[in-house]
């Protein structure tokens, strides 16, 4: 597996990471712990060194799973986790209790994450969502203190806008921004990616396969369980799934030419955008893990990229990616 550096930091990780959320959260009931432990270790065996979790995934159970599964590989893998949701209420779903990035809450969250991950230092700590009630300078300052105390190595933001990134970076240099970015969510291209390039910050696209849509495994007849959070997303209604099939047709055409799969083309496209972009597709299946890793060796030429850009510019993606309440949880 090739490696990449996140921005101008010295954080070097596998070109494709593994998003662990779906193993315990959001995509239906939690998966079997033993099976997921085997999958995480299989990822390490295949060269993946970058794993993504968060305290809210579960809540807490995903960090425990990742911490236990990766304990034998301390020092050989990079684990990123996130703070920023208020989990004190009885209903712990993200967005229900709201955000909380008060400095004392960050310190408390980090102590919990260190225990669950079974580590002395968190490799990369993200603010999960921007908290409108706490100045971003206070958030960055709190993480800076944690870095000085040796509890955190690198600071990241998630779903933050260009102004927020600049303000935070002035207090504590940011190593990576995690945001949704893929062929069907290209919002970061306008302001965020130029800002990251200027400041030397890496980009970690989550949902790089459009929450599964860009694999080509869905159509308008696809049904989602009520425990699957896609059941409530505007972009996963039957009408939107049908309208957005044009993107799959585009990926399929290129995939055929490259002897690859639509998912591999979607990931290879991201890798070709910038050398400091590291996507973190999530999966709970070994065959999908291997397919995703295989994207790292798919070479897209300048002509391929031009063809994809031209075809994609004619496709209007239908449906908002999130309901309005969740969409508002971003920084300017």
Q: Please, how many CA atoms are within 13 Å of residue 315, restricted to the half-sphere of its CB?
A: 24
Q: Are 140 and 171 in contact (CB under 8 A)?
A: yes
What is the C-alpha to C-alpha distance for residues 40 and 320, in angstroms, rounded to an integer?
Answer: 32
Radius of gyration of the chain (CA): 19
Pick the catalytic residue from 57, 126, 206, 322. Answer: 57
Whether 164 contacts 136, CB under 8 Å: yes
DSSP 164-225: HHHHHHHHS---EEEEE-BTTB-GGGTTHHHHHHHHT-EEEEESTTGGGGGGT---TT----
Where b means 16+ CB within 10 Å and e means fewer, 60-78 reads bbbbbbbbebbeeeeeebb
Structural element, H or E, at residue 45: helix 33-45
Catalytic (active site) residue 206 = no
Active-site amino acid positions: 57
């Amino acid at each position: 597996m090739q490696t990449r550096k996140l921005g101008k930091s010295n954080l070097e990780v596998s070109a494709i990471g593994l998003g662990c959320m779906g193993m315990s959260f959001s995509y239906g009931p939690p998966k079997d712990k033993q099976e997921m432990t085997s999958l995480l270790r299989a990822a390490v065996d295949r060269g993946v060194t970058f794993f993504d979790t968060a305290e809210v995934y579960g809540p807490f159970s995903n960090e425990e799973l990742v911490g236990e599964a990766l304990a034998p590989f301390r020092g050989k893998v990079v684990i990123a986790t996130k703070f920023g949701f208020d989990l004190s209420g009885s209903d712990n779903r993200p967005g229900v209790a709201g955000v909380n990035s008060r400095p004392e809450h960050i310190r408390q969250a980090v102590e919990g994450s260190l225990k669950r991950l079974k580590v002395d230092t968190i490799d990369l700590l993200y603010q999960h969502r921007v908290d409108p009630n706490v100045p971003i300078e206070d958030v960055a300052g709190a993480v800076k203190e944690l870095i000085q105390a040796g509890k955190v190595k690198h600071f990241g933001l998630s779903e933050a806008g260009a102004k927020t990134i600049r303000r935070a970076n002035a207090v504590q240099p940011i190593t990576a921004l995690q945001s949704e970015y893929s062929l069907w969510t290209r919002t970061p291209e306008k302001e965020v990616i130029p800002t990251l390039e200027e400041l030397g910050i890496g980009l970690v696209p989550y949902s790089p396969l459009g929450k599964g849509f860009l694999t080509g495994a869905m159509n308008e007849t696809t049904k989602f369980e009520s425990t699957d959070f896609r059941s409530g997303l505007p972009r996963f209604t039957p009408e939107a799934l049908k309208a957005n099939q044009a993107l799959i047709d585009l990926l399929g055409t290129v995939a055929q030419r490259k002897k690859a799969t639509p998912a591999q083309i979607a990931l290879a496209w991201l890798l070709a955008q910038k050398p400091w972009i590291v996507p973190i597709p999530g999966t709970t299946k070994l065959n999908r893990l291997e397919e995703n890793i295989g994207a790292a060796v798919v070479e897209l030429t300048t002509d391929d990229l031009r063809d994809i850009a031209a075809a994609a510019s004619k496709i209007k993606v239908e449906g908002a990616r999130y309901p309005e309440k969740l969409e508002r949880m971003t920084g300017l």
